[in-house]
Amino acid sequence: MARIGCRTLGIEAPSCEMFHRIYFHLVWRTSGNAPLITLERAEFLVRFLRGAARHHGSYVLELGMVSTHVHALVRTRPTTVLWMLVQSLKGGSAAVANRELPPGPGPLRWKKAYSVTSVSPRALQAVRQYLRSQPNRHPTERIDGWGGDRPEFDREG
């Protein structure tokens, strides 16, 4: 389990630590459910989303993608502001992709809504399997040439 000292939380107390295992399953879709996630964009998203999450003290443990939507298994800290994390993942990825990648089938845009579900440590493997199964669940939205994510693991998951 990860530890956060009380000083991180602004609490002055001797030998005060907090143990946590906080996991979320995030899902968001492209605007209009358009098939905007190409192979190049999928590879970019893997790198970008992991880096953006780390900026918020979080980790993207696994990604599942098809051309119309993204699934992410994320481990966060108790101090993570979830809406700010999601804003960085969605808004940041679209802004940087549209600025730095060659044009795809259209500008990368996300729907405003997203889904977030808490995940118990016991359910991590089932969620990982679900993320890996996305191309089979949505065969018409499979990303040509993309072999999937290389998952990250922490001691607990």
Which domains are seen in the chain, by residue range?
20-141 (3.30.70.1290)
- Give tens-digit pLDDT for 40-62: 999 999 999 999 999 999 999 99
Both ends of the chain: CA-CA distance in Å? Answer: 10
Taking the C-alpha atoms of residue 57 and residue 38, their distance in angstroms, rounded to an integer, is 28
Query: What was the pLDDT predicted at 22?
Result: 95
Read off the tokens for 105. 């089938």
Taking the C-alpha atoms of residue 84 and residue 4, their distance in angstroms, rounded to an integer, is 20
E-strand stretches of 1-157 = 2-5, 17-20, 22-29, 59-66, 69-76, 115-119
Work out the pLDDT band at 119, boundaries 50, 70, 90.
very high
Taking the C-alpha atoms of residue 115 and residue 25, their distance in angstroms, rounded to an integer, is 8
Question: Can you state the angle between helices 93-100 and 39-55, rounded to 10 degrees?
Answer: 130
Q: Flag whether pLDDT at 4 surpasses 70.
A: no
Taking the C-alpha atoms of residue 87 and residue 122, their distance in angstroms, rounded to an integer, is 28
**Amino acid identity, position 8:** T
The rounded Cα 127 to chain-centroid distance in angstroms is 13
Would you say 109 and 94 are in contact if contact means Cβ atoms under 8 Å apart?
yes
Q: How large is the average pLDDT for residues 58-74?
A: 97
Residue in this structure with the two tokens 């040509």, named with its chain if needed: 144
Read off the tokens for 146. 């993309």
Query: What was the pLDDT predicted at 154?
Result: 65
Q: Flag whether pLDDT at 155 surpasses 80.
A: no
Q: Could you tell me which of 6, 54, 46 has the C-alpha nearest to residue 143? A: 46
